[in-house]
Amino acid sequence: MLRYVAIIKIAQRIGIPLATIGDAFGILPEGHTLSAKEWKQLSSQWREELDRRIHTLVALRDELDGCIGCGCLSRSDCPLRNPGDRLGEHGTGARLLEDD
């Protein structure tokens, strides 16, 4: 039981949703102790998801330098939230934050 709690905590720490963790445990018999091979299979699935998230976060980090941080979200070269300045067509200011 404590191993499962430890695994859940590890998975949560890297951002794996509880539903995904539950699905992984759902295929195991109740009270089953994971073998090293089973842990490797399970963690490799989560590793792929973690690698995708890391890739996305690195791309976001690398694009942040182009953002002036004003909140208007309509700058023509803001690739993070407004590629192609599509929000600028609707006026200036924080278009996503304003109630129209």
31 with 60, same domain: the answer is yes
pLDDT (tens, 9 = 90+) of the chain, 100 residues, equals 788 888 899 889 988 999 998 888 888 888 888 888 988 888 888 898 889 889 888 877 876 666 545 555 555 556 666 666 666 677 766 555 554 4
In whole angstroms, what is the distance from residue 31 CA to residue 37 CA? 17
83 with 34, same domain: the answer is no
Domain that holds residue 43: 2-65
- Regarding pTM above 0.85, the answer is no
77 with 36, same domain: the answer is no
Task: Please tell me the total count of domains within the chain.
Answer: 2
Residue 60 · residue 67 · CB < 8 Å = no
Cβ count within 10 A of residue 24: 20
82 with 98, same domain: the answer is yes
Helices (H) and strands (E) in the chain, counts: 3, 0
**68 three-state secondary structure:** coil
In whole angstroms, what is the distance from residue 60 CA to residue 36 CA? 35
